[in-house]
Amino acid sequence: MRKRYQPNRKSEDGIWRIRTYEGIDLLIENADVVVNMKAQRIRWIGYIVRTDNDRTAKIVGEWRPVAVKRIGKKRLRWESDVREDLEI
């Protein structure tokens, strides 16, 4: 969250200050971080669905490997997490 809410500059003296976790809590009003991140993933997948077919993010998202399937447990994929979030 500290990376998302980047440092800001006080206008009086022009000094940059790094936000503390307490300050970030005040900004987001003690919101649940997990719920926030799930909402951001859903927003991102909506953006990808609406983009043109020649965009790199859409091409990579729709690409399916042609290789032989591996034996064992399936790998976790970002897309499956988003689908699970949408079902909830």
Mean pLDDT for the stretch of residues 19-32:
71
Q: Which two tokens stand for residue 59?
A: 């091409």
User: Contact, 28 vs 11, CB < 8 A?
Assistant: no
pLDDT given for residue 71 in this prediction: 82
d(CA 7, CA 15): 10
For residue 62, the model assigns a pLDDT of: 80
Within 13 Å, how many C-alpha atoms sit on residue 66's CB side? 0
For the chain, what is the mean pLDDT?
77
Of 50, 38, 52, the closest CA to residue 86 belongs to 38
Q: What is the pLDDT of residue 57?
A: 83
Residue at token pair 């003690």: 30
